[in-house]
Structure 1
């Protein structure tokens, strides 16, 4: 017994030459107008979520880390002017500062 014969005992073989069976499409009746209005109101209620305070908090904390932001901006200018360096180190320092500032405020805002 070969390997393919062994697997064929567990897995059926499908050939591309077989004709496909036509699929019947069953149309459902449209729901009543009253049901549509109720569903729309429920969807609107579900879609209304409180605003995420993270963006505002991160902007405030970015202002507190202005010296690191200045170093990142200077590095970005050098890269735009043809420097072969990257600004990963400056970016990580800036984001670490902003995250350290924002994390406790964000967790306090999410209850």
Structure 2
């Protein structure tokens, strides 16, 4: 929280390397596949008026795939 306040008060922050790496990883083949599964689930759940189905598993699969990719690439981007 303090770090975010400093970013705001000290002017424009530089690009966040974490966000940059996340965007690159989301374009990776495995992440694209898990994102498609998540979007299909959201579409399916959104089209039904009464359902107990949630897309928690698909969301966790996507986040796990993206974060796994990020973990391998992030520290190459940090100064």
Question: RMSD of the TM alignment (CA)?
Answer: 1.5
- Counterpart for residue 110 of structure 1: 78
Tell me how many residue pairs correspond in the alignment: 66
Distance change (3 Å), C-alpha of 1:80 and 1:51: same
Cα offset, 1:88, TM superposition: 0.5
Q: What does the per-residue CA deviation read over 1:52-85, in whole Å, with 9 as the maximum and x for residues that have no partner?
A: 1222211111121111111101100011011420
| Structure 1 CA distance for aligned equivalents of residues 12 and 41 of structure 2 | 41
Aligned counterpart for 1:81 among listed residues 16, 41, 47: 47
Q: 2:27 aligns with which of 54, 59, 63?
A: 63
Runs (4+) of structure 1 exceeding 2 A deviation are 46-50
Give ranges in structure 2 of 5+ residues lacking alignment: 1-9
**Greater helix share, structure number:** 2
Match of 1:72 among 38, 41, 65: 38
